[in-house]
Amino acid sequence: MKLQLINPNTTAAMTDKMAVAARQVVSVGTQILAVQSATGPASIETAVDEALALPGLLAQIKAGEAAGVDAHVIACFGDPGLRAARELATAPVIGIAEAAMQMACLVASSFSVVTTLARTVPTAQRLLVDYGMTSRCRRVRATGIAVLELEAQTSDLLRKKIGDECRLALAEDGVGAIVLGCAGMADLCTELTQALGVPVIDGVTAAVKLAEALAGLGLRTSKQGDYARPGAKPYVGVMAQFAPAA
Ligand code: 2AL
């Protein structure tokens, strides 16, 4: 089985980090094809970042479909372009935020999210509404850490900061699980699970395992309704290359 793990930001070090985490959990015989967008922002933290990350991300979805991958994972906690990617793909497309939230709900009645900058909190809160998760998530907590600070191996200082915020979540929010709110936190999941004694869910590994399960069951993205392939029409300017073909 071939899973395309897409980092929708353009930072190769972060792609490498998430690929290491993904390869530690997949079954024998599952290949992780880790890629990042060729165009777009170095990290995705604002609405502008997200909008300008989408052409590069959708190009990777198209390339993965052409290569016949069995599933795609969008590895950014804002799940950028998830619905658009599902319109383009026939293979399943999993976003790491949705995957982590769904998995958290299977092992705890409630969870808190520990994420990066405060300005990304409303994005996560919008996703909780979209995914029908508001009754299961008690709080989305910011650590004040920028995504690019997590691009390579996480430093001891940042490990402590993230661990401390998780401990506060457990002490104050009454939750049974923690969801890590950035793909760049994928290297912390095992040690935090051991240190905190509760399920800590990293979206990269959650999404990869869900992608494996869906592909293994032969489930594909529905082409009925709003995930149907976009109809042909012209796009102009730099977007002409994205014009849906007949
Ligand atoms: C992220 C992430 O996972 N990758 C990225 O560029 N931004 N998430 C976040 N909460 O800021």
Whether 11 is in the pocket of ligand 1, judged by its Cβ within 6 Å, is no
C-alpha of residue 229 to centroid of ligand 1, in Å: 27
- Atom of ligand 1 at shortest distance to CA of 123? 10
**Atom 5 (ligand 1) nearest CA:** 44
Condensed to tens digits (0 to 9), the pLDDT of residues 80-138 reads 999 999 999 999 999 999 999 999 999 999 999 999 999 999 999 999 999 999 999 99
Whether 186 is in the pocket of ligand 1, judged by its Cβ within 6 Å, is no
CA distance 99 to 183: 12
Question: What is the average per-residue pLDDT within 158-179?
Answer: 98
- Atom of ligand 1 at shortest distance to CA of 75? 3
Tell me the pLDDT of the chain averaged across its residues: 97
List, in order of start, the domains of the chain with CATH numbers. Answer: 2-96+206-242 (3.40.50.12500), 97-202 (3.40.50.12500)
Name the residue of 14, 50, 52, 76 whose CB sits within 8 Å of the most ligand 1 atoms, as the mutation to test its pocket.
Answer: 76
Whether 181 is in the pocket of ligand 1, judged by its Cβ within 6 Å, is yes
**What pLDDT, on a 0 to 100 scale, did the predictor assign at position 246?**
82
Centroid of chain to Cα 183: 6
**Atom 9 (ligand 1) nearest CA:** 182
Helix (H/G/I), strand (E/B), else coil: 35: strand
C-alpha of residue 20 to centroid of ligand 1, in Å: 17
Give percent above pLDDT 70 in the chain: 100
CA distance 11 to 142: 22
CA distance 244 to 128: 30
Condensed to tens digits (0 to 9), the pLDDT of residues 37-78 reads 999 999 999 999 999 999 999 999 999 999 999 999 999 999
CA distances, 50 to each of 44, 45, 230 (Å): 6, 7, 21
Strand boundaries in the chain, DSSP class E: 2-7, 31-36, 71-74, 93-95, 111-115, 137-142, 177-181, 200-202
C-alpha of residue 190 to centroid of ligand 1, in Å: 19
